[in-house]
Structure 1
Amino acid sequence: MANLLVISSAPATLLDGKPFLDAKFVEGMRFYSDLWDGPVSCLLKRRDNTFPFGKSYEQDQLPFKIRLLPVNKTIGVEEINESDVILCGGDNHEHLHLADIYREAQKKLVFTIEQHPETRRQIIFLDPVRSLPKKLYSQLWAMKQERRRRRAFRKADGIQANGYPALSVYRPMNANTMMYLDNRVGENLLATENEMKARENRLMSGGPLRLVHSGRLEHLKGSHDLVPIARLLVSKGVDFTLDIFGTGSLEDEIRKDIAKHGLQQCVRLNGAVDFETELVPFARENADVYLSCHRQSDPSCTYIESMGCGLAVVGYDNRMWAALCRESGAGWSGPLGHVEALADALASVAKNRQEVAKACRAARTFAGNHSFENEFHRRIDHLKALL
């Protein structure tokens, strides 16, 4: 039996001697353990403090082994010598040197990748805290790491690219490259047929177009565009509601703007809620369209997760949503940063409920084909093929 080692940048620490791990990461590792024909272990850098969405685990609760390395420890041959196949996060520059040592250790190495140069550049230059000289320095450093990354990817046995942009950028580096769409929507969380029919019946009978938005309320996520879009919809006479879920540095500003512009009847700020037990049921039963103001081209799992709830999507045409929109037929897009374009798109679909219902169906079908389980099966099959 082959040994699989997952090297990840997921947060991890010890709490009262027990591993304190990100809950989403643990669920993913459970799937590796269930589907892999052999022992599974993971290697993580240890943090000093706990973090949101983490949980303490007894080692015997976990079907995989855990090794936590000190932050200043470099991963070497000793850390990988008991593994046969290594799945390693390629977004982290601290992992790229493994491409130079894994063949000597007679291992198989596959990198995962999510971000690409455009997204890294956006993250740097959209940061409101860094000065321009610091942004320029960060960009030069990122370019240097990108050269290392491409060299490492050419040496590896394969690449697993999360999302269309990463696939298009890194597939030329390695012939054995596959794409997956990371998300948390398993088969049990997908919108049911009864819920889909209930939404369609409601859309056809009239009433407000029910919009929903979720995520961190930050400039980087475009959250400052939510209230301006709502104001434009009001000015266009669109009957709608907008439920906003999440917290962040813009939360107070958004709350004040809702009150300032008299939007309390149609825009609601709901704070942070549990994804599986609160957000997903709300989206499945009380929403029609997911409103995305995301300007970055990273493969935000929010798209697929919202589509899995049976929601059409209206968003900026960053490289991820533009490609996903074309592939799925699950919504509409507008030019980056043009709030008027998104408001116009919403005003148009509000008048054509049949098109909204059609996009909702397409969204549910596409997300079902790319459910959490389906994506993990494909990723494991890709790794097994190396053996």
Structure 2
Amino acid sequence: MPTLLLSVPAPVKICQDGYHLDTKFVAGMQAHVADWGSDVRCVMWDSGDSIPFGQIYRASELNFDLIVLDRNAAMPPEVLEGVSIALVSADMPGFGAICRSIAAARIPYVVGAEYTLDTRLRTVWLERHISFLRKVRRSLWLLRNERRIRTGIKSAASAQFNGYPAFDSYAELVIGPHIYLDNRMSAEMMASPAEMVTRSERLLSGRALRLIHSGRLEPMKGSQDLLQVMRELSALGVRATLDIYGTGSLEAQIRSALGEFDGAVRLHAPVDFRTELVPVSRTQADIFLSCHRQSDPSCSYLEAMGCGLAIAGYRNRMWEQLSKEAQCGVAVPLGSTRSLAKAIARWDRHRQAIVDSAQAGLSFAMTHDFEREFAGRMAHLRSLVV
């Protein structure tokens, strides 16, 4: 039976009782094992990073073969023994060296990519706590590393691209590239017809709009704009509430300003996606507010659409194309909180447009649920096994 090797940038720590791993990563690996139907091996490098949503797993609790190497260790030849095909993330530290090791062993490999050079550079320059000189140095390193990424992709058997920007940037470098839209919405998690009717009736009754946002509260996610959008909406006479779910470096700044909104804006700690965030989104919200300035393929878009929410967001490369493909939502110029508030105000005056956008988004999400997207990726890998 063919053996699949995965090399992913997920954090890991070696512990006395086993491995400290992110629970979402383990769930993803279990899905790989279930779909691949034979041996799955994963090689990781001890990152030393914090793992907020992790737990300790014994080796016997994992249904895949896990090899954890020291931070800067080279790929040992024994890791590649018996491997039929490998999937390597372009975001792995040492990506070029990993690809060369696999190629030297005459094993076909597929590159997984979701970030573009533009996204990586924007992330650096949105960092608030590093000096200008360090930003310049990091940018120069990224420019050099981009050559390594493109070389690795050119030498690959194929590639899998999460989202439109990465596909548009790199697809021409390989034969038979595969595009997918990563998200966590399984078919049974999608908004129900009854929930869509209830939301529609509420919206058309003229009650205050219920906005929701979830994710890391970081500058690269545009979280600093959330409250300003609410200020702009108030100035435009739009009655609305906003529930924010998440934590991050901007949490204290957001929390300190909540008092000015008289309870209309509420900040919640991160909650479990499946059992809490999805039910809340399906039954207690109308619009997902996205101030994301980056063009990375945030899964929040598909997940909000699957919950039956209309989306108002900035016109980054990912959301601009996704909104066109799905024929839903609104996309306004990057960083313009005024434009975002005006778009929501237009929706407020024409509530049926919110209902129609939400339904179009849900219909699109239902054709891109987790099971379909994941099965497509695994079928693509199987097609490359010699």
1:383 is matched by which residue type in structure 2?
A: L
Aligned to 1:340: 338
State the Cα distance separating 1:330 from its structure 2 match.
2.3
Aligned to 2:301: 303
CA RMSD for the aligned pairs? 1.5
Structure 1 vs Structure 2: percent identity of aligned residues? 40
- Matched residue, 2:108: 108
1:320 aligns with 2:318: yes
Q: Distance in 2 between matches of 1:189 and 1:349?
A: 26
The CA deviation at 1:49 is: 6.3
Question: Matched residue pairs, number?
Answer: 385
Give the deviation of 1:132 after TM superposition.
Answer: 1.6
- How high is the TM-score relative to the length of structure 1? 0.96
Q: CA offset at residue 328 of structure 1?
A: 0.8
Matches for 1:88-107 after TM superposition, within 5 Å: 88-107=88-107
AA aligned opposite 2:349 = K
Q: Which moved more, 1:98-107 or 1:23-32?
A: 98-107
Q: Given residue 366 of structure 2, which amino acid in structure 1 is its aligned partner?
A: G
Aligned partners of 2:290 and 2:311 also within 8 Å? yes
Report the CA distance between 1:93 and its aligned residue.
Answer: 4.1
Give unpaired runs (5+ residues) of structure 1. Answer: none
Q: Which residue is equivalent to 1:130?
A: 130
- 2: CA distance, partners of 1:351 / 1:98: 55
Instruction: Output the CA distance in 1 between the equivalents of 2:75 and 2:303.
Output: 34
Distance (whole Å) between structure 1 residues aligned to residue 50 and residue 99 of structure 2: 31
8 Å Cα contact 2:17/2:58 also seen in 1: no
Correspondences of 1:19-58 after superposition (within 5 Å): 19-48=19-48, 51-58=51-58
Listed as ranges, the matches of 1:184-199 within 5 Å are 184-199=184-199
Q: 1:177-197 deviations in whole A, cap 9, x for unaligned?
A: 111111111223221222112
Tell me which of 368, 371, 378 is aligned to 1:370: 368
Contact 2:306-2:365 within 8 A present in 1 as well: yes
Give the conservation status (yes or no) of the 8 Å contact 1:97–1:152. no
Letter matched to residue 63 of structure 2:
P
Report the CA distance between 1:14 and its aligned residue.
Answer: 2.8
The answer to whether the 8 Å contact 1:245/1:273 transfers is: yes
Distance, in Å, in 1 between the alignment partners of 2:316 and 2:42 is: 33
2:262 to 261, 264, 268: 264
Amino acid at match of 1:88: V
Distance between the aligned counterparts of 2:15 and 2:196, measured in 1?
43
C-alpha contact 1:216 1:247 (8 A) present in aligned 2? yes
Unpaired runs of 5+ residues, structure 2, are: none
Question: Distance in 2 between the 1:357 and 1:241 partners?
Answer: 18
The runs of at least 4 aligned residues of structure 1 exceeding 4 Å deviation read none
Distance 1:167 1:139 in 2: 22
Partner amino acid, structure 2, of 1:250: L
User: What CA distance in whole angstroms lies between the structure 1 residues aligned with 2:92 and 2:222?
Assistant: 25
User: 1:203: Cα distance to partner?
Assistant: 1.4
Question: How much has 1:76 moved relative to structure 2?
Answer: 4.3
Q: Do the aligned partners of residues 151 and 187 (structure 1) sit closer, same or farther apart at CA in structure 2, a change above 3 Å counting?
A: same
Q: Which amino acid aligns with 1:115?
A: Y
